[in-house]
Structure 1
Amino acid sequence: MKKKSIAIIMASVLLAVLAGCGGKAEEAPAGGKDSKQTVIKVALNNVPNPPFIFKDDKDNSVGYTVDYFKELEKKFPEYKFEYDLVDKEAQILGVDTGKYTLTGNLFKNPEREKKFHFAGKEFGYYITALVVDKNRDDIHSLDDMGGKKLAPLPIADALRSIINDYNKAHPGKEVQIEDIEKFVVGDSLKVVANGKVDAALLNVNQFEEANKKMQLDLKVGGIVSKEPIFLMYNKQQTELAAEFDKATEELLQDGTLSKLADKWLGVDFFKDVDSVNEGYKFRQSK
């Protein structure tokens, strides 16, 4: 009986351990003999996305997102943050299966919200802008794009939803746009440069990076919007998300995130779009 009881107990313990593996944080030694830290496994994009995350000349990961996580680390010494740089598909699959606790720099959409738990508080924004030929001065906003052609975008792309919403709200003044299967920044810039379209809608920083490499005579005509980016968690991580939401709000209220935005983007993207637009123009004139 004793052997049978021990076997039952061991089986129960094993089942409990296995049940706790689905997306939950793990515990790891934290230096002290009895102290432990909870491991937070973070998946970040391995594709350079300056100024949010990229490699410096010493092959270290740097950028706004990296600094944001450093601030979270300061607030949560009880957690051990471990980072993996992987492609977007691996990020999403890894969080879904529990390999990773969370990932960042993602837009919310209905499909993702069904499968994952999103932070309630955004930790930053992508700034979207209309890119035009440097000699054009007639396009500064979507209101100037009525009847004009925009560089193609995939139907499911987050940027495309901006255009779809605008066109629904402005019947008779729709922006002309064609569908493509895959969005490539360089391709969008090329069709603007060769005059096939009037403008392209892009993330400002993606444009600046690509324009520098391609050496095209293009410019930002105007800032269109700022799109919030969030941390995305495994469905089970609601308590952790609430903790990080509170910390993110504190970092916003004490000015830390605004300082990081100004450091890495040259503008405080937590301000309204008009202020961001003016800040961007000032930055460009320096």
Structure 2
Amino acid sequence: MQTIIRRRLHLPLAVLLLLSILTACGQASTQPSASGSAGSASSGGGAPKVIKAALNTVPVPLFSYLDENNKPAGFMIDYLKELEKKLPEYKFEYESVDNESQLIGTDTGKYAFAANFWFKNPEREKKYLYPQQEFGYSITALAVKPERNDIKTLDDLVGKKLVPMTPVSGFRYILKDYNLKHPGKEIKIEDVEKTTPADDLKLVESGKYDAHFLNVVHFEDAVKKLNLNLKIGGVISKEPVYLLFNKNQTELARKIDETTAELIRDGTLPKLSEKWFRVDVYKSLEYVQQGYRFRKDG
């Protein structure tokens, strides 16, 4: 099945390259007949339904990015390919936009779903439909300078300077939840409009900030590419991540729920996790912590 890609002239060249060759990757959705903006049935009996979905503009190494041959690669790309194999009744049209546009577009019905690594929180649950089954996990960790042995847990961040976060960062909600449970011993959260893992880690290496709270995969990629002198002080949590659906996409969410659970049960997604992250993130946090303790082998 061929995936249709809508190009936007303002996108970076790397993203256009990614989208232009993303022909084997897909996901699906049904859109209520009252609104055909996010999905509509193709003409002809038994023809697949065409669905609009949002992808992330910024390549995220190991999750979704262009490899050295300018071909799409990553855990998310492989996951979407597996979904497409299992759901031939759909045909997918992707548009690459930033995180905020993904949220707005999915809320309004422009997109049937946003294919990204969304954490679940009460604010989003009011506006969007989450499937019951997470498709993976974000392994969160604290990056610090090599000589720092005083920052291993969230408790250790109290009174320390943490690298600022964007308003839509899922890590912010983890910290907000921590602060609610620890009145009088809150972690200070600073705001920033835009950021990248590489820039954030440079702030830690420079000594301007004490630690950065991030996905451990982002740490490995940035340290390898930039040769940063940093380490992981501690692995904090294994956060479930989801695709995010328009509220009306109940049938699509149900089908992807069932398919994702099947891909976990039959070992497909655990194998993909080991392929990309060198550890099976579907196992216990203790297992994952041992797997990330902590390598500088790239």
Deviates more, 1:107-116 or 1:117-126: 107-116
Q: 1:166 aligned to 157, 178, 203, which one?
A: 178
* Alignment-derived partner of residue 95 in structure 2: 84
Find the structure with the greater CA-based Rg.
1
Q: TM-score, normalised by structure 1?
A: 0.81
Shift of 1:167: 3.3
Is it true that 1:208 corresponds to 2:220 in the alignment?
Answer: yes
* Alignment-derived partner of residue 274 in structure 1: 286
Query: CA 1:20 to 1:195, structure 2 compared with 1: closer, same or farther past 3 Å?
Result: closer
Shift of 1:51: 1.0
User: Which residues of structure 2 form unaligned runs of 5+?
Assistant: 1-31
Q: Whole-Å Cα distance in 1 between the matches of residues 166 and 38 of structure 2?
A: 31
CA RMSD in angstroms, aligned pairs only: 2.6
Shift of 1:49: 0.7
Q: Which letter maps to 2:34?
A: A
Query: CA 1:193 to 1:150, structure 2 compared with 1: closer, same or farther past 3 Å?
Result: same
Instruction: Report which of the two has the higher share of strand.
Output: 1
Shift of 1:213: 3.5
Cα distance per residue 1:63-92 (max 9 Å; x no partner):
111111111111112222333323223323
Is it true that 1:57 corresponds to 2:68 in the alignment?
Answer: yes
Is it true that 1:242 corresponds to 2:254 in the alignment?
Answer: yes
Query: CA 1:282 to 1:145, structure 2 compared with 1: closer, same or farther past 3 Å?
Result: closer
Instruction: Report which of the two has the higher share of helix.
Output: 1
Q: Whole-Å Cα distance in 1 between the matches of residues 295 and 270 of structure 2?
A: 16
User: Which residues of structure 1 form unaligned runs of 5+?
Assistant: 1-16
Is it true that 1:188 corresponds to 2:200 in the alignment?
Answer: yes
Deviates more, 1:96-105 or 1:41-50: 96-105
Local SS of the residue matching 1:202: strand
* Alignment-derived partner of residue 8 in structure 1: none
Q: Whole-Å Cα distance in 2 between the matches of residues 43 and 214 of structure 1?
A: 30
Q: Which letter maps to 1:274?
A: E
Q: 1:141 aligned to 128, 153, 160, which one?
A: 153
- Of all paired residues, the percent bearing the same amino acid is 49
Verify the 8 A CA contact 2:38 2:53 in the aligned structure 1. Answer: no
Is it true that 1:119 corresponds to 2:131 in the alignment?
Answer: yes
Matches within 5 A, 1:17-96: 19-27=34-42, 34-96=45-107
Local SS of the residue matching 2:235: strand
Shift of 1:222: 1.4
